[in-house]
Amino acid sequence: MGKVVGFEISSQSPKEATKFYQDVFGWKIGEDNWDYWPVSTGQDSIGGGIAKGPNDFPHGTRIQIEVECIETAIDKAKVSGAMVVREKMEFETFFLAYLVDPTGNGIGLIEKK
């Protein structure tokens, strides 16, 4: 079962967004890394981040779902009508891809290394 492991808020004004969420909700905001600010929303909650939104997703929030095999999940999603907006990307400890489901919702897929 795909577990929701994070979220990402996309904004064209990410510094303003980080200040808003910090001031209003008390979120702890980490240091900027490639226009991405990691977010901690509390001890027992999922983590996330605030990012400068790319052209394909300039504003909005996407959940990130952990999968066992990112390639398999992408293939299943495409068969079920999803569109891949970012193919599998490799990071130090995980792989990440972005999709849009058949109804227009953006989601991220994460496979831990």
The CATH number that applies at residue 74 is: 3.10.180.10
User: Considering 41, 58, 75, which residue would you say is the last residue of a domain?
Assistant: 58
Residue 1 lies in a domain: no
User: Considering 18, 38, 58, which residue would you say is the last residue of a domain?
Assistant: 58
Q: 112: helix, coil or strand?
A: strand
Q: In the structure, what pLDDT confidence band is assigned to residue 1 with cuts at 50, 70 and 90?
A: confident
Overall number of domains in the chain? 2
Mean pLDDT of 40-45: 90
Q: In the structure, what pLDDT confidence band is assigned to residue 103 with cuts at 50, 70 and 90?
A: confident
Domain region containing 30? 6-58
Same domain, 54 and 72: no
pLDDT tens track for 11-31 = 999 999 999 999 999 999 999
> What is the DSSP annotation of 18-83?
HHHHHHHH--EE---SSSEEEEE--TTS-EEEEEEPPTTSSSEEEEEEE-S-HHHHHHHHHHTT-E
Provide the 10 A C-beta neighbour count for residue 11. Answer: 18
Unique residue bearing structure tokens 């079920």: 80
Same domain, 52 and 71: no
Global pTM reads 0.84
Mean pLDDT of 32-59: 89
What is the reported pLDDT for 53? 86
User: Which of the two residues, 58 and 68, has the higher pLDDT score?
Assistant: 68
Same domain, 99 and 82: yes
Residue 111 lies in a domain: yes
Same domain, 10 and 54: yes
Q: Are 68 and 23 in contact (CB under 8 A)?
A: no
